[in-house]
Chains A and B, each alone.
Chain A
Amino acid sequence: MAARDNHGPNPPNGGAFSVIGTPLRKVDGLAKATGEAVYTDDLQLPGMLHAKTLRSTVPHGRIKRLDVSKALALPGVHAVITGKDLPEKYGVIPWTQDETALAVDKVRFIGDPVAAVAAVDEDTANEALELIEVEYEKLHAFLDPAEAAVRAEPRIHDEEKSNVSKHVRLDFGDVDQGFATAEAVVEGDYVFHGTTHAAIEPHCALARASADGVLTVWSSTQVTHYVQRALAKVLGLPESKVRVIQPALGGAFGGKSDPFSLEFCVAKLALITGRPVKMLYTREEVFFAHRGRHPMRMHYKTGASKDGKILSVDAKILIDGGAYSSFGLVTTYYSGQLLTGPYRFPAYRFDSTRVFTNKPPCGPKRGHGSVQPRFAFEVQLDEIAEKLGLDPLELRRRNDQGGNTTTINGQRITSCGFAQCLDAVEKASGWKERRGKLPFGRGLGVAGSMYISGTNYPVYPNAMPQAGIQVKLDRSGLVTVFTGGNDIGQGSSSVVRAIAAEELGVAPDDVRVVAADTDLSPVDLGAYSSRVTFMVGNACIDACRKLKRLIALAMAEKWGVDPSRVALLHGEAIDTQDATRHVAIREAFHVAEAKFDTLGSTGSYNTPKLGGEYRGGTIGASPAYSFTAHVAEVAVDVETGRITCEKIWIAHDCGRALNPLLVAGQMEGSAYMGAAEVVLEEHAVDHRGLHQGPSLLDYPLPTSLDVPELESLIVESIDPEGPYGAKEAGEGPLHPAIPAIANAVFDAVGVRLRELPLTPMKVLAALEKKKAQGQLAHAAGVR
């Protein structure tokens, strides 16, 4: 690891932090609250056309006939494109590029894009869609992943050998020996249904092809850089002629981290028509674009010693991928690779298979690939505790592998505050006094988790930095920071601002952040894998310290002192050993500019070499891991089977909380999102291949009345490599919510639910079964 990548956890001037650690409002908070923020769909350009997509009405079929002539003849229609206009394949993972912007020969799910129309307005475009004639030869539709795993024909992707999208099996340690010596072995099947992100802003893209050959695409994306690369590839343009800009974004959660059909369509239509073209997805289309959480059928077997120490874990997972690969290769690895903490696994094996099905494609949703196994495993841990007669929280404490260690699959763990997380939720929830002692129908459950702060796997292999920053100092005293980091509401631009203000001694209001414009900002890979704070944050410190060095040299020369005595603090450059020497920061900028010319710098970050020495060993290898523990309290209405999650105590180790307000916001947002996945949300496709209600009426996001009370307990383990010791906070805190609620249901009513969502019907069925067993046992006892 280069020196530029590690800056230590301490304040830049020794002593205390001035900005870091204070609860600051987000840079875009006021603009969003007042309606001033400009989202992609707010953009209007002169002569702009509106585009719409024709979508497949069959789940699997070959296109026999596609005639767009009538649509093209409709007055007001400027262009119609089909798969033959955009045949080049793309996909976020370079090895599994199996998507085209519009169907070429085949359609693979109901909602798969087939054609796109650009017209003077949306109504004309919609009318034109109705005039497109398309005939399909229907093919057998794979809607059950188990069938897709064993049946290779018809293939959903002709280029593949079967309908298996990815298979990964990895063995660590002697799993079978572990079970042989175990005191308690629990084995069971667990089901995670599908869920989606449902960001409030639907996907939207606007393209303009300028006379000078530059294509500009504004898009609601969280991966500007990848979209630029994909557009260049598909359209056959040099990357230098493609500019991608991310305007204000209304949420993403992983649902905007692929290149999407509409980005290519508006670009192509703009190139054809010479007019700006915009496309905004309807809410229904967002459900088809999907990339939500993969449904998983999981079989877990865990063995533990008498004192509750995990000895061996064996997992077999079937992953329903939907119609395309998306991030699926990574998902398949993550489903196994990210389970090896916070608990020590002496032996571990996983065997994960992702299959293609004729459904909207799955992808990364907050807690990518690891939320589902975490649910299964944390419920199974509770079953182990039950079997051994141990307190489930104590069992987790006993298995905590702590920090500065290496996991069984070769992941390097540095800082770890998991023990403090457990302590915090135990104390705050009154666990010791209340768990197992609440009246029937009310219970507490616990779960823990670990998550990555970015990984050292840069999606496309290259030796360049994963994150870059440019800083420009203005004579006015303004600091402008250019970052490729996508602020998707998680606050990455706010983090960048706070770091620049801390380093350069200016007020946060005197830092402006220019983000996610490929013409203006240096490359950052995007907002995914919880990488931005860690990587962009470090790059920002790097860039700022280079500038600070120049200012210190210039001031030191002016004052005739050693540069090490110059500090930038509270809007001034000061001599730390002579309080009479101080100038306003802009004066210091002037002195430095006079000496060194125009002031600017770049900073970068790249991960150290990480991961196990085996194929796939780098996937899930992170420079730092966050840790979380939740305790959930539920009330179960035994008559209706309804579970009400009343409260979640969330303890999360985020290294150092750069902005505790943002950290708590991420913790609460994560926990409530997870809680909703337990009892409400289900992204389901029926036996016809039809989505079961692609609307916000039928897909029940929780209302304010459905959200539990949330209490955030920030744990700061201070990471040795994170920016000032920070780690991620945006995804990790989601994981334990789901198993903690399931485990609380067990404490409340004594039934173990292993299939999500935990519907009232499942609760009632389990209660009924338990009652019948109880009566049987009672009858047996009497006899």
Chain B
Amino acid sequence: MLRLPKLQVVSPATLDEAVAVLTAHGDKASVIAGGTDLLPNLKHRIVQKELLVSLDRLHELRGVTVEADGALVIGAMTTLDAVSCDEAVRARAPALAIAAGLVSGPQLRRMGTLGGNVLLDTRCRYINQTHFWRKSLGFCLKKDGSVCHVVSGGSRCVAAASNDTAPALITLGATIELQGPRGRRTVPIDELFHADGTANTRLQEGEVLVSVRVPAQREGHRGAYVKLRSREAIDFPQLGVAARVDLTGGLVDDADVAVVALQARPVRLKGIAELVKGKREGSEALAAAIEEVAQRAAKQCRPMPNVPGDHEYRRLMVPVFVRRALVAALASADLDSKEPSRAND
């Protein structure tokens, strides 16, 4: 078995204490939530830390609440399993419930958290390997080396955002609540990420992700997430597409599509809504518009040979999966109608 490096673990009783410890130790410390991403990265020596700050005792970071305006507030420590099974999430943010339910396998979903998935480290076939393997390779830009093996001559790390929940949250217009040494701040999830594979979030030193807020969606909200992977479980996305379609009176009002596992950050596609707006549900015009969206997506998405899976194949699958995401979103009305009673509280 690969060994974890020697390190200390503390379990603060309050969020303030956690922030203080993190701030005091700077980049020598890291938050540990479910550990499903961090522990393998520690074993692979991709991440090197001396202190892990466990959020396990911060019960206020767990659970889903529905606010008066219908917004969902999901604690960062809520497990992916809990998110995927939560009736309110399933009803109000179906894309997120689906995405959370497609992360890895059952065991890891019961350890892994929503916060952990949002902040999942970027992934690449050349980085998520043992130290021995990377040494044989000659290391790479992301850690210990100076060359990129994905883009020859590349000077910027293109390890891919591989967090299934991120594109879903982007289409839902979610915001992220962070607490740091200078207090709280709220960041739209789309602005949390930037295209740098070495560290693709704008999290500042000492900051802890507290919760994810999904604003109340419009009546007639539809959403879905579809995922390309080798197996029916366990694998990270080789391509992940989230879609949102808002309908009013059977007509498409708005739509949004976001894609993950392409480059260092999840990508929101441009000019999607204008193609489908005003088209009637079930009409041929909408079907044709969705096909246009798929073609537009193919132009905007350029899968690179960063994550496992033939990147040419992943390129071919962009329009297919974008179409499937939109079709699945439109078919998600059932979820909407199953709105549980607690949503009316």
Give the B-binding residues of A (Cβ under 8 A): 55, 57-58, 110, 122-123, 126, 280, 282-284, 639-641, 680, 688, 690-695, 697-698, 700, 702-703, 705-706, 759-761, 764
Contact = CB atoms under 8 A, between A and B. Distances in A.
Given A110-B136, A641-B313, A759-B313, 20 more contacts: A57-B136, A58-B136, A123-B3, A123-B6, A126-B3, A284-B2, A640-B320, A680-B230, A688-B137, A690-B136, A697-B234, A697-B235, A703-B231, A703-B233, A703-B234, A705-B232, A706-B231, A706-B233, A760-B313, A764-B316
Interface in B202-250: 228, 230-236
A282 B313 contact: no
30 contacts: A55-B132, A57-B132, A57-B136, A58-B136, A123-B3, A123-B6, A282-B1, A283-B2, A284-B2, A284-B130, A640-B320, A680-B230, A680-B231, A688-B137, A690-B136, A692-B125, A693-B125, A694-B130, A694-B133, A695-B129, A698-B125, A698-B308, A703-B232, A703-B234, A705-B232, A706-B231, A706-B232, A706-B233, A761-B310, A764-B316
B184 to A, nearest CB: 36
Contact of A693 (B6, B129, B228, B316): B129
Contacts of B231: 680, 700, 702-703, 705-706
A362 to B, nearest CB: 20
Contacts of B233: 703, 705-706
What size tier do the contact residues of chain B reach?
20 to 34
Nearest to A58: B136
Contacts of B2: 282-284
The winner among B125, B128, B236, B317 for most chain A CB atoms within 10 A is: B317
Contacts of A761: 310, 312-313, 316
Nearest to B230: A700
Nearest to B125: A693
A692 to B, nearest CB: 8
Nearest to A280: B1
A695 B312 CA distance: 23
Nearest to A707: B232
A284 B312 contact: no
A559 B320 CA distance: 84
User: Which 7 A-B residue pairings sit nearest by Cβ, starting from the closest?
Assistant: A705-B232, A57-B136, A761-B313, A703-B233, A700-B230, A110-B136, A761-B310
Contacts of B312: 761
B340 interface: no
B59 interface: no
A698 B229 CA distance: 11
A122 B317 contact: no
Contact of B310 (A110, A280, A698, A759): A759
Contact of A57 (B135, B230, B317): B135
A700 B235 contact: yes
A712 to B, nearest CB: 23
Nearest to A123: B3
B58 to A, nearest CB: 29
Given A680-B230, A761-B310, A703 B132 contact: no
B123 to A, nearest CB: 10
Nearest to A637: B320
Contacts of A703: 105, 231-234
Nearest to B314: A761
Nearest to B137: A690
Given A680-B231, A703-B234, A760-B313, A284 B132 contact: yes
Contacts of B317: 640
Contacts of A282: 1-2, 130
The winner among B6, B132, B233 for most chain A CB atoms within 10 A is: B132
Contacts of B6: 123
A283 to B, nearest CB: 8
Contacts of A122: 3
Contacts of A691: 133
A173 B316 CA distance: 49
A160 B269 CA distance: 59
A705 B233 CA distance: 7
A693 B308 contact: yes
B331 to A, nearest CB: 17
Nearest to B316: A764
Contacts of B236: 697
A570 B136 CA distance: 63
Contacts of A110: 136
B199 to A, nearest CB: 22
A582 to B, nearest CB: 55
B48 to A, nearest CB: 14
Nearest to B40: A697
A36 B231 CA distance: 32
Interface in B107-132: 125, 128-130, 132
A690 B136 CA distance: 8
A639 B105 CA distance: 26
A623 to B, nearest CB: 40
A702 B317 CA distance: 22
A369 B296 CA distance: 49
A282 B133 CA distance: 12
The winner among B128, B137, B310, B316 for most chain A CB atoms within 10 A is: B316
A313 B310 CA distance: 36
A260 B3 CA distance: 22
Contacts of A123: 3, 6
A620 to B, nearest CB: 35
B247 to A, nearest CB: 25
Contacts of B129: 693-695
Nearest to A55: B132
A701 to B, nearest CB: 8
A692 B130 CA distance: 12
A692 B307 CA distance: 12
A639 B322 CA distance: 13
The winner among B105, B136, B310, B316 for most chain A CB atoms within 10 A is: B136
Nearest to B105: A703
